[in-house]
Amino acid sequence: MSDTPNKLIEGATGPWEIVLGLEIHAQVASKAKLFSGAAVGFGAGPNAQVSLVDAAMPGMLPVINRHCVEQAVKTGLGLEAQINLWSRFDRKNYFYPDLPQGYQISQYKDPIVGEGAITVERDDGSIFTVRIERLHLEQDAGKSIHDLDPNMTAVDLNRAGTALMEIVSHPDMRSSEEAAAYVKKMRTILRYLGTCDGDMEKGNLRADVNVSVRKPGGELGTRCEIKNVNSYRYIQQAIEYEARRQIEIIEDGGAIRQETRLFDPAKGETRSMRSKEEAHDYRYFPDPDLLPLVLDPAWVKSIQKTLPELPDAKRARLAAQYGLSTYDAGVLVIDAARADYFERAAAGRDAKLVANWTTNELLARLAKDGLDIDASPIPSDDVAGLVKLLEDGVISSKIAKEVFEHMWAGEGTPARIVEARGLTQVSDTGELETLIDGLIAANPGQADAVKEKPQAVGWFVGQVMKATGGKANPATVNALLKAKLADT
């Protein structure tokens, strides 16, 4: 669904197109698990958050967590997707040491959410659409730990039974950049909705990437699935490697085997994990312990009313209301907290200036120190204060950068810093005139040069700035120099 030319990869036999579809596993923001009352949390001691249901003790029965269902519906509404008022849980049967039931409770033929779509921005600002095939609820498995003991595998079931939303896209992405941009956008939407915290480091948002290659416009190729990639960089590296691998095999006369592969970040390679199983291998069947999930349309409507302003709408509003570029507005809406910060600072101020200081200076400094905007040492009021000093001509933008550094160091409000450090701009014409007269008298050669070449006035501006420690008002200096050099 790209509306700009696809990025092609050059092979020995000509160009190839990458076709990508993603399955995102997003952990539902919930205090309890999907079918038990056990707590969900990161960092608890091993097996400290496991109920008898999660441990699959005989005779235990699952009970659906209403909050998790609400979160899935809310997400479906946020993705402008079909909400299925009738859905069902199925058992997906397979054995794994960290899956004590011997099956995963998931949704197969009848997921809670059907077709939807999201728009995604590429780095160059262009936009493409990714269609969502479905979103279903399912349980997470536990964790096998292989590096505690040389001869044994340890199992931690804290994660077992945690609610996941599996969001399946159509194969609408054509480059590793598009895939990363899609995951970023999905993460932003989920965080706006408050249905998943999007913490990729903790594994709360991870992607399975389906990769195939084809000649442009040709038949879809056989795909390989790369499991559980949990950073944007790894997603891109895994795709780039995997596409090249497939192209080389096909160009050497081979065929791609459908399989599940693992990405090894240390080597930057994917390697075969198991031959890909088909859906029928799992012997899905409706879970007899659970009734079909039937939703009241009035309840769905009441959830719709709780939806916040979503990123696309917020970007359009910020651009229109504050006269920002789509790009700047896009940077601000990546995180709802950023947009809130901007709007607080922009109230009654020059919004474009506020946006510049927020996106260029503040966000860059926060990124450098690995901080979220919520942890910014500079409150939004102080960005507003800095912009006011600029608007009033009290400081130049050069001095503002210096003031910003002191703000970052926690020296107080911008007004206090300017006063305490004597950084007020010199707009006093008399003081500047004396300085300029002296400079012209001492440098007649430079003054003549300006008559030949007006741009040479920059040299004088530089000298005045140097002499005033950057505090001279540039507009005043330019006006005075123009008048005086024309007179001589």
Give the residues lining the site for Mn ion (CB under 5 A).
166
Q: What are phi and psi of 348, to 5 degrees?
A: 75, 5
Residue 293 beta carbon to Mn ion: minimum distance, rounded to whole angstroms? 17
Task: Give the residue carrying structure tokens 């077709």.
Answer: 115
The long-range contacts involving 125-131, CB below 8 angstroms and separated by at least 24 positions, are 125/326, 125/327, 125/330, 126/3, 126/4, 127/3, 128/1, 128/2, 128/3, 128/4, 128/172, 128/178, 129/1, 129/172, 130/1, 130/169, 130/170, 130/172, 130/173, 130/182, 131/1, 131/169, 131/170, 131/172
Are 85 and 293 in contact, with CB atoms under 8 Å apart?
no
> Which of 166, 309 has the CB closer to Mn ion?
166
Residue 94 or 299: which CB sits closer to Mn ion?
Answer: 94
Nearer to Mn ion, 106 or 237 (CB): 106
How does DSSP classify residue 359? I
Q: How far is the CB of 190 from Mn ion (least distance, A)?
A: 16
Q: Residue 366 CB, nearest distance to Mn ion (Å)?
A: 34
Residue 208 CB, nearest distance to Mn ion (Å)?
8
**Coil, strand or helix: which one is 133?**
strand
Q: How far is the CB of 365 from Mn ion (least distance, A)?
A: 39
- CB of 181 closer than 8 Å to CB of 235: no
- Judged by beta carbon, residue 166 or residue 312, the one nearer Mn ion is 166
Provide the minimum distance between the beta carbon of 138 and Mn ion in the complex, in angstroms, as a whole number. 5
Task: Pick the closer one to Mn ion by CB: 115 or 166.
Answer: 166
As a whole number of angstroms, the distance between CA 204 and CA 191 comes to 12
Paired residues of 137 in beta bridges: 165
Cβ closer to Mn ion: 107 or 396?
107
Containing 205, the helix (H) or strand (E) segment is strand 205-214
Q: How far is the CB of 106 from Mn ion (least distance, A)?
A: 6
Least Å distance, CB 171 to Mn ion, is 17
Which CB sits closer to Mn ion, 166 or 340?
166
H or E segment at 407?
A: helix 397-408
**Closest CB to Mn ion among residues 207, 436:** 207
Distance, C-alpha 224 to centroid of its chain: 25
Contact of 17 with 216, CB cutoff 8 Å: yes
Q: In terms of DSSP bridges, do strands 86-87 and 205-214 run parallel, antiparallel, or are they unpaired?
A: unpaired
Instruction: Give me the least distance between CB of 23 and Mn ion, in Å please.
Output: 7
Alpha-carbon 396 to chain mean position: 34
C-beta nearest to Mn ion: residue: 166
Given a contact cutoff of 8 angstroms between Cβ atoms, the answer to whether 456 and 450 are in contact is yes
Is 159 or 314 the residue whose CB approaches Mn ion more closely? Answer: 159
